[in-house]
Chain A
Amino acid sequence: MLIKTPDPIKPSQITDKQQYLNRRQFIRDTTKFGMAGALLTSATGLILPAETALAGTKLSTVKNHEFSTDEELTPYDAVTSYNNFYEFGTDKRDPASRSGKFKPQPWSVAIDGECMKPGVYDYEDIIKPHQLEERIYRLRCVEAWSMVIPWVGIPLGDVLKRFEPTSRAKYVSFTTVMRPDEMPGLRRDVLRWPYREGLRIDEAMHPLTILTVGLYGETLPNQNGAPIRLIVPWKYGFKSIKSIVKIEFTHKQPKTSWNISAPHEYGFYANVNPEVDHPRWSQGKERRIGDFLKRETLKFNGYGEQVAALYNGMDLRKHY
């Protein structure tokens, strides 16, 4: 009989970063080669692991163990080269290849709506008072693929409280920056720009929800939503809005971009839910980037223990 004991030490704690990046990269290369091999039957060649460029600035963080998963990390290279960020183009490669002109600093965020301290705050003003945490979360895209990413961020609730939301603040709405000169995808109205997302106030205040400024211990690359983005790990990736320039407390449920674009396909809640299919594809399974076989998708992306109570009494088929 095989007895499995949970390993309390995470790989990232015992291996230095570059080393584990290389190892993950190697694993990914070999899996990919295997896939190509399956198709091509005969293929020989030398595979050199691609250079993993680390362009960001180091951030000093403490690791949050309470909410982090110890699943294998998706390699840095994959996290930063396979993105949905339509402001730079609709191809998964566009955000990495077409975001070179984007300037994430200096940056400020406008705080508005039902709160006592609205105003325009510099990036530093927002982040400085807080301790940055590393949190390793699963990310589940609505397109049925997933990653495991070590984000760096702060609980959104802690930040929002500083602006003193009033009792009328029932929702929080977020807006992405719009800079056509730096974001070539904005030239075409694929979605209604600027990109907008929203959360119910209790979702925004939930300790799992983070305002994110980095990944893999460094500042966010442009393609991942520099310099400041949202991460809501129990919802489909499109809820985790990137490059935020405006946060507004609202009384009414805010309009959100994908919901405007296709209301019967993308709801306001967009909680990961294998029981409710996208009208055009199944949400029952997902492919973890780097894996060959798909795996079962978990309800609330596996964060049900923490967040299911937020939706007590709600029909999640109706509120998809």
Chain B
Amino acid sequence: MAPSGKKPLLFLACSIPFCLLIYNGITNNLTANPIKEITHFTGEWTLNFLLITLAVTPLRKITGNNALIRYRRMLGLFTFFYACLHFSTFLALDHFFDWAEIVRDIVKRPYVTVGFTAFILLIPLAVTSTNKMTRRLGNNWRKLHRLIYLIGVCAIFHYLWLVKADILPPVIYGLILCLLLALRSPRIKFKSRKT
């Protein structure tokens, strides 16, 4: 199958967490505190997709398969999709549009501040993801999209600062992020690339 032919499959795969969320909602399977559960679920999947998106370039480097680049945009947009769900949960379900409380949270709680920063920074990346924008921005597009590294760092601190006692999950995510960023270094080379 041509790589582009796999795109619908990838789309379906990326929708699975969302379908699971709907299914668990309908079957009353979101714990006794569904709003918290939805927040955690969507937050976790935003981060998962962020890291999957960041894994494309290293994977391409390791496997030498340049066609992988075709999937990066969709993965990035799914990151944004889950981030929108996560943020809407915060606005609409958790705070029910209590704007004073929302602003206070964003300003006063460092973990929300960095999460919010990550979300805001994702917006220009999503907006400039079209072919037209890529072409129009030229070299600036690449520079702009380097923001994703900063977004990754913000997301890790967001997670690290919100856990109560068990810091293992955010630490693991953090190590994965470090690895994915380190593999980009031009000093790290893979044999398969030359073949």
Which A residues fall within an 8 A CB radius of B?
28-29, 32-33, 35-40, 43, 45, 47, 50, 74-75, 77-78, 81-82, 86, 90, 92-93, 143, 145, 188, 190-191, 258, 261-262, 280-282, 285, 287, 289-290, 292-294
CB contact under 8 A between A191 and B165, given known A82-B31, A92-B33, A289-B33: yes
Q: Is the CB of B26 within 8 A of A289?
A: no
Contact of A36 among B30, B32, B105 (CB under 8 A): B30
* CB-based closest 3 A-B pairs: A36-B25, A78-B32, A82-B32
Contact of B25 among A40, A188, A190 (CB under 8 A): A40
User: Which residues on B sit within 8 Å (CB–CB) of A45?
Assistant: 26-27
A292 to B36, CA, bound (A): 11
Most buried by B among A36, A188, A190, A282: A36
User: Which residues on B sit within 8 Å (CB–CB) of A281?
Assistant: 109
User: Which residues on A sit within 8 Å (CB–CB) of B85?
Assistant: 39
Chain B: CB-nearest residue to A45: B26
Which B residues fall within an 8 A CB radius of A?
21-22, 25-28, 30-36, 38, 85, 88-89, 92-93, 96, 101, 104-105, 109-111, 161-162, 164-166, 168
* SS of B interface (majority): helix
User: Which residues on A sit within 8 Å (CB–CB) of B88?
Assistant: 39
Q: Is the CB of A81 within 8 A of B31?
A: yes
Q: How close is B149's CB to chain A, nearest CB, in angstroms?
A: 25
Q: How close is A71's CB to chain B, nearest CB, in angstroms?
A: 16
CB contact under 8 A between A43 and B31, given known A261-B165, A262-B165: no
CB contact under 8 A between A50 and B28, given known A32-B34, A36-B22: yes
A77 to B36, CA, bound (A): 17
Q: Is the CB of B161 within 8 A of A92?
A: no
Q: Is the CB of A35 within 8 A of B93?
A: yes
A72 to B97, CA, bound (A): 26
30 contacts between A and B (CB under 8 A): A29-B28, A32-B25, A32-B28, A35-B25, A35-B34, A36-B25, A36-B26, A36-B30, A38-B93, A39-B21, A39-B25, A39-B93, A40-B22, A40-B25, A43-B22, A43-B26, A45-B27, A47-B26, A47-B28, A50-B28, A90-B166, A92-B32, A93-B31, A143-B164, A145-B33, A191-B165, A280-B161, A282-B105, A292-B35, A294-B96
Q: How close is B86's CB to chain A, nearest CB, in angstroms?
A: 11
Q: Is the CB of A86 within 8 A of B165?
A: yes
User: Which residues on B sit within 8 Å (CB–CB) of A33?
Assistant: 25-26, 28
Q: Is the CB of A36 within 8 A of B92?
A: no
Chain A: CB-nearest residue to B22: A40
Chain A: CB-nearest residue to B92: A38
Q: How close is B27's CB to chain A, nearest CB, in angstroms?
A: 8
User: Which residues on B sit within 8 Å (CB–CB) of A191?
Assistant: 165
User: Which residues on B sit within 8 Å (CB–CB) of A188?
Assistant: 166, 168
User: Which residues on A sit within 8 Å (CB–CB) of B168?
Assistant: 188
Chain A: CB-nearest residue to B38: A39
A261 to B166, CA, bound (A): 11
Chain A: CB-nearest residue to B42: A39
A104 to B162, CA, bound (A): 33
User: Which residues on A sit within 8 Å (CB–CB) of B166?
Assistant: 90, 188, 190
Q: How close is A32's CB to chain B, nearest CB, in angstroms?
A: 5
Most buried by A among B28, B85, B110: B28
User: Which residues on A sit within 8 Å (CB–CB) of B93?
Assistant: 35, 38-39, 292
A29 to B164, CA, bound (A): 29
Most buried by B among A33, A39, A289, A293: A39
